[in-house]
Chain A
Amino acid sequence: MTEIRFTIDGREGRATAGQTIVEAAKANGVYIPVLCHYEGLKPVGSCRVCTVRVGGKYMAACTQPIAEGMAVENTAPDLEDMRRALIEMLFVEGNHMCPTCEKSGNCELQALAYRYRIMAPRFPYLFPVRELDASSPKIMLERNRCIQCLRCVRAIRAKDGRGVFAARDRTGRVTIDADRNLAARLTDEEARRAMDVCPVGAILRKEVGFAVPIGRRKFDRKPIGSDVEEGPAR
């Protein structure tokens, strides 16, 4: 395997050919925030929260392969502020009522907002009208919280490979739909995976929730990305 040398915020790192910038950074104990990306899925670079700067050019670190000699800027103040703005936009363009959400404490959007110390968004709330779909026996589709990351579309497939979830109205305001027949056949395990894959509280399992007390949830004590930063020995 070819070894690649690069720097991230001036710090030297080593990567292997074929790794994305996010993967290369992670291997060197550096966290680049991601939201639409989920480990094991093909990255699509749709949310742009992972945007880094290389040679003055902005790129999605989850899709861009690392290359020899790259000087990656990750925590420049303007980059961090742009990421913060993206997260704020996601909050105002949906209806994210954290106090009423089962995903609270385990939500990646909320966790990023905590990491970036967002106390209130700089943009006005839009309060869009979105429809909830509770027609499936195992899951609910709570579109008020959907951020259209397409993680469920990519990850959750029936045995014959057909997608259980799909994006509708891709030219307008994208909404996520579940195939009624396929969603009706989801097993408990598949429903659990669908809820886990969703970074927010848009896919929820029915008849469970609020099982873990406040204080013991995923992001209650440590910011998202801490595992990468504390990472395995370099």
Chain B
Amino acid sequence: MSKPVIATASLAGCFGCHMSLLDIDDRILQLVELVALDKSPVDDIKRFTRPVDIGLIEGGCCNSENVHVLRSFRENCRTLVSVGECATMGGLPALRNGIPLKECLDEAYMNSPTVAPEDRLIPNDEELPIILDKVYPCHEIVKIDAFLPGCPPSADLIWEAVTALIQGRPLDLPYNLVKYD
């Protein structure tokens, strides 16, 4: 039997959850034996090359590209997991959700003290993804099968969850590993 395939993505996140995944220390050698990695920023594979068993999503959706990537993960992954607070509830990027979008863009591109007067321009190129009205948790865009809370989720929690999913065990996460912070 071929190895289970994993894919990962970082949407509106800080890559902290990916860092936490790498924080499994020498278990990463076991992971290499256990799974094959498809589309992921870790191996820089840009497109899905085969059906994926487990998709790990870091970050919520703040723009159209995030939504596009998330939907393609849903189409290609048998089990899709929200990893971390941003994927689960928007997290830090969602701090902008109470502020009108125009105000956010003005603050960043028009009124910021580091923007030279001649550079005052809100980016609006068709190559750029369109920014959403607010930051959305992943499960409000597509169906999510499992959630790993934490900012970031600890390496132990990610290891426990990934190995359980690979082996088809139920996700019975230990109390002391489940933290929202």
Contact = CB atoms under 8 A, between A and B. Distances in A.
Interface of A: 91, 95-101, 104-105, 110, 113-114, 117, 119-120, 124-125, 127-130, 214, 220-223
25 contacts: A95-B98, A97-B89, A97-B91, A97-B92, A97-B94, A98-B151, A98-B180, A99-B180, A99-B181, A104-B180, A104-B181, A110-B180, A113-B180, A114-B175, A119-B148, A119-B178, A120-B82, A124-B140, A125-B90, A125-B94, A127-B94, A127-B134, A214-B179, A222-B175, A223-B175
Nearest to A122: B139
Contact of B137 (A96, A117, A120): A120
Given A100-B92, A119-B147, A124-B140, A221 B178 contact: no
Interface in B45-94: 82, 85, 88-92, 94
Nearest to A127: B97
A108 to B, nearest CB: 13
Contacts of A98: 85, 151, 180-181
B181 A117 contact: no
Given A100-B92, A120-B137, A220-B176, A127 B98 contact: yes
Nearest 10 pairs of A and B residues by beta carbon: A99-B151, A98-B180, A119-B147, A127-B97, A129-B98, A104-B181, A99-B181, A120-B147, A98-B181, A120-B88
A105 B98 CA distance: 26
A119 B90 CA distance: 14
A129 B98 CA distance: 5
Interface size of B as a range? 20 to 34
Contacts of B140: 124-125
B98 A128 contact: yes
B58 to A, nearest CB: 14
B116 interface: no
B144 interface: yes
A125 B95 contact: no
Contacts of A127: 90, 94, 97-98, 134
B146 interface: yes
A99 B88 contact: no
Contacts of B98: 95, 127-130
Nearest to A121: B89
A128 B94 CA distance: 11
Contacts of A220: 176, 179
Contacts of B13: none
Contacts of B90: 125, 127
A101 B176 contact: no
Contacts of B95: 97
A110 B179 CA distance: 9
A221 B174 CA distance: 10
A7 B58 CA distance: 47
B134 A99 contact: no
A222 B139 CA distance: 29
A96 B180 CA distance: 10
For B92, B144, B175, which residue has the most chain A Cβ atoms within 10 angstroms? B175
